[in-house]
Structure 1
Amino acid sequence: MSTNGCGVRVDQDAQDSREDLARRLELTQPTDTVRGLFFLGTLEAVRALAGEDAVRHCVEAGSEPRFVEFFNYPVSDFLKVTDAAARVLAPRCGGWTEALRHLGRRATADMLKSATGKALMLLSKGEARWLVGNLPAAYRAAVNHGERTVTWEGPSRGRILMRRDFMPCAFHEGVLLATLEAMKAREVEVRGSRVDMLVSEYVISWS
């Protein structure tokens, strides 16, 4: 972090993200959606750490006054609400990037509590590799856009390529970290990198 002319600490990642968010929003289509479950989880994460006023601020960043778990909402709204949430949580999480990872972890927790997530956990039989291999299906249950592919480089090491996905890398790093940790994997490592505006790659490994 740096400081501005008034001596206030400034999160440079958060500053840079404003232009990034605008570009991502320009690329969305009205038909690109996200389940309400993830809006609700994001707002609950904000409520737990920052209170009701912060929740209202995040809701106002989007265009919906309320969300229903099984309804689908525009990904453009999810981008706005998540960005607002990350900015609110940044001082409490160690910066904007860490706040996004925190929200990604929350998204995984919500997915694993859903009917789809419970089914995946049951079918995985405790095998992290199996669950990672089926992440593309889990993402399809959560959003109706994008493509995710898994390529294995070893028994517990692989790469996940996400195409036409609108969320920043740090968010998906949180998702993947929480997924592997839910399987009791140890020495988990996730390194994300942006290939293009809507294309990102994640190298994952565990023991």
Structure 2
Amino acid sequence: MSLPLDDLEQRIALTRPGDTVRGLSFAAVLRLTHERLGRDAAERLRAPLMQRSPVDFFSYPAVDFLRLIGFASEALQPGYGTREAALRACGEAIVGTFFESTVGQTLLRLTAGAGDPKRMYSNAPASYGTAVSYGQREYLALGDKRVRLTFKGDLLPVQVHEGILGGVLTALHREGHVRGTERGLGDSEFLIEWA
């Protein structure tokens, strides 16, 4: 599933005036764009949305982040082969930037005990709750090496979350995969398995 302009507009229509996303997510996508396409490309994406570079823990309108992720994935698509792969790369950049931060490093040390992804994923609902102001997430363990996360009222494309959730496995140096299924616009489910 790609993110055509009509899908972007449908997601924007779901937003409420108070829906926000932390600046870290903006910064991560802009950094990825800068690394892959150069400074000018990143500036062209940022300029219509904000006057300055985003501050990691400030909150910004979710509408602006949806526009950024939509247009960044379009710009990055040639380098990743598909729009879906570009969206996943944006998600991986977000979680990678988070884990590089002091807060992310602390979370890795506190919750990743012995590299157990289950501990990290069990904290996903709270972690998402600090990163965005909208939606609900639920965690369910399905076995020792398998969990399900259910998202309701979420604004981002499934592929972005696949990148974020898969990036957790990468940070923990674990092999595995994430399979996202959109149940309806804004509602999705993620099955995460690892070796």
Is the TM-score greater than 0.5?
yes
1:41 aligned partner: 28
Does the 8 A contact of 1:13 with 1:97 survive in 2?
yes
1:108 aligned partner: 95
Aligned partner of residue 189 in structure 1, secondary structure? strand
Shift of 1:94: 1.0
Separation (CA, whole Å) in 2 of partners of 1:53 and 1:122: 36
Does the 8 A contact of 1:32 with 1:75 survive in 2?
yes
Report % sequence identity: 34
Q: Which runs of 4+ in 1 moved over 3 A?
A: none
1:59 aligned partner: 46
Say which of 131, 144, 168 aligns to 1:179. 168
2:180 aligned partner: 192
Tell me which amino acid in the other structure corresponds to 2:185. M
Structure 1 residue runs of 5 or longer lacking an equivalent are: 1-11
Work out which structure has the larger RCO, using CA pairs closer than 8 Å and 6 or more positions apart in sequence: 2
Say which of 171, 189, 193 aligns to 1:201. 189
Shift of 1:52: 2.0
Separation (CA, whole Å) in 2 of partners of 1:116 and 1:166: 24
Does the 8 A contact of 1:61 with 1:81 survive in 2?
no
Does the 8 A contact of 1:41 with 1:110 survive in 2?
yes
2:154 aligned partner: 165
Tell me which amino acid in the other structure corresponds to 2:84. T
Q: 1:133-165 CA distances to partner (integer Å, 9 max, x unpaired)?
A: 111111112111111111111101111101111
The question of 1:77 aligning with 2:77 is answered: no
Tell me which amino acid in the other structure corresponds to 2:81. G
Does the 8 A contact of 1:57 with 1:84 survive in 2?
no
Separation (CA, whole Å) in 2 of partners of 1:56 and 1:121: 31
1:148 aligned partner: 137
Shift of 1:61: 4.7
Does the 8 A contact of 1:116 with 1:138 survive in 2?
no
- RMSD (Å), alpha carbons: 1.4
Q: For this pair of structures, how many residues does the alignment match?
A: 192
Tell me which amino acid in the other structure corresponds to 1:175. I
Separation (CA, whole Å) in 1 of partners of 2:48 and 2:142: 41
Separation (CA, whole Å) in 2 of partners of 1:128 and 1:13: 28
